[in-house]
Amino acid sequence: MVLKNTDVEKRMKRVEVAVYYFPNYHQDARNALRYGSGWTEWELVKRAEPRFPGHQQPKVPAWGETDEADPMAMAEKIDAAADHGIDTFIFDWYWYNDGAFLQRGLDEGFLNAPNNDRLKFAIMWANHDWLDIHPLKRSPRPFENATLLYPGAITPETFETVMDHCIETYFRHPSYWLIDGCPYFSFYALTKLMAGFGGIEQTRDLLDLFRAKVKAAGFPDLHLNAVVWDNPILPGETAPVDAKAVVDQLGFDSITSYVWIHHYATKVFPEVEYNTIRDAFFDYWDTAEGKFDQPYYPNVTMGWDSSPRTVQSDIFSDLGYPFMYTIKNNTPENFRTALEMVKQRLEESGVPHPFLTINAWNEWTEGSYLEPDEINGMGYLEAIRDVFKSSAACSSAAAKQDALCAVRG
């Protein structure tokens, strides 16, 4: 039997696993000015307390308070991720009009780790407003006590600086994630992106310039991805009135999600069942596939609990982020089932280069992390390994067998 190349390619394809990485677990100059020398978000993790009966806090990291800017500490994370079937870290990446923020985890940790060839990395520009919610004081009016530190809207000049920096510092790195040879680059907040440039036409011009610069650097193109949602969560978040029109007019290549919370609004408090919000996400997936022309790449969220970002002595009631519902029963077993469900549907969807995003590697103060804790150990990573790593090996073996059959005729 002679197999056509297209048949071999279909058998070779597998679902890739890309995990969001939140880099606020190293010392940063901006944080030092505001909170004091040595401050990291580990301070909020270890000070967290139970806020209602049955609430499991604090979350205790089994690895301790690791410094992600240390290449050897990052190397341990890379090995754990690669060993358990993760392909890519998508770094939440910050750059404001006055420069970079929270860069050392990537620039000093990942890029200097001796084993960074084991994992791909990519950029999701977290271009939202940065407010002081570390922690946030309770207020009857949402975010009344949240001080705006760094506005997410940036100037065209800043964006051009970012383009050049990303091409030279990241895209040329041998571990940068490429899709069809094109660097993957994602934007978190489309509304903020347009706000700094004067409108949708000006934004499209700048994105076209970004593509042109990437092509001039020797790549076939730039793969632009948009994070979309219909339920704003963070302070100052706004979703485009017509997300489809914005994504189309700006020329994005694909869309995805950051976290299930972005697609689920409820009056239930203080806990929502994991499987309930999982099923709600599948309903959103149906909507996204019918609404957008671009490929939609799904998300699996490990959990949610933003209470560590609140003042712990305040009453914990439903006032909006971070005083909001948590997810319960997000066990490794339920997480694994969600992974299996998403993987099966994604494989059957026919989207090119199938991948899913996972929230998150280390969102400890939002209760969504894969790093081991003292209760579940490596359970969440083992769930990913069981669902994806074995299938990757089978896919590779099948591809080799198909190629052999083709040669033998």
Q: 335-384, pLDDT tens digit by residue?
A: 999 999 999 999 999 999 999 999 999 999 999 999 999 999 999 999 99
CATH annotation of 16-396: 3.20.20.80
The residues pairing with 89 across neighbouring beta strands, listed in sequence order, are: 19, 121
Q: 128-162, pLDDT tens digit by residue?
A: 999 999 999 998 887 788 899 999 999 999 999 99
* Chain position carrying tokens 């949610």: 304
Tokens of 393: 């090996």
Confidence of residue 240 (pLDDT cuts 50, 70, 90): confident
What's the pLDDT score for residue 45? 98
Closest-CA residue to 200 (of 251, 237, 257, 255): 251
Cα–Cα distance, 341 to 339 (Å, whole number): 5
The residue-averaged pLDDT of 298-321 equals 97
Tokens of 256: 């995805």
Q: 191-235, pLDDT tens digit by residue?
A: 999 999 999 999 999 999 999 999 999 999 999 999 999 888 887
Q: 80-136, pLDDT tens digit by residue?
A: 999 999 999 999 999 999 999 999 999 999 999 999 999 999 999 999 999 999 999
What's the pLDDT score for residue 167? 98
What's the pLDDT score for residue 390? 62
Q: What is the dihedral of CA 185, 188, 190, 192, to 10 degrees?
A: -120
Q: Output Rg (C-alpha) for the chain, integer angstroms.
A: 21
Give the DSSP per-residue string, 105-166: IIIIIITT-TTGGGSEEEEEE--S-EE--TTBPP-SSTTTT--EEE-S---HHHHHHHHHHH
The DSSP element (H or E) to which 382 belongs, if any, is: helix 379-384
168 alpha carbon, distance to own chain's centre: 23
The residue-averaged pLDDT of 2-13 equals 47
Query: In the chain, what is the straight-line distance between the N-terminal and C-terminal CA atoms, in Å?
Result: 5
Q: Tell me the CB-side half-sphere exposure of residue 189, using CA atoms within 13 A.
A: 25
Lowest mean pLDDT among 12-21, 212-221, 244-253, 299-308: 12-21
Is beta strand 182-187 parallel, antiparallel or unpaired with respect to 120-125? parallel
- Cβ-based neighbours of 339, under 8 Å, separated by 6 or more: 300, 383, 384, 387, 388
Q: Tell me the CB-side half-sphere exposure of residue 209, using CA atoms within 13 A.
A: 14
Confidence of residue 391 (pLDDT cuts 50, 70, 90): low
Confidence of residue 392 (pLDDT cuts 50, 70, 90): low
What's the pLDDT score for residue 13? 77
Chain-wide mean pLDDT for the chain? 92
Question: Is 10 a residue whose pLDDT tops 60?
Answer: no
The residue-averaged pLDDT of 312-339 equals 97
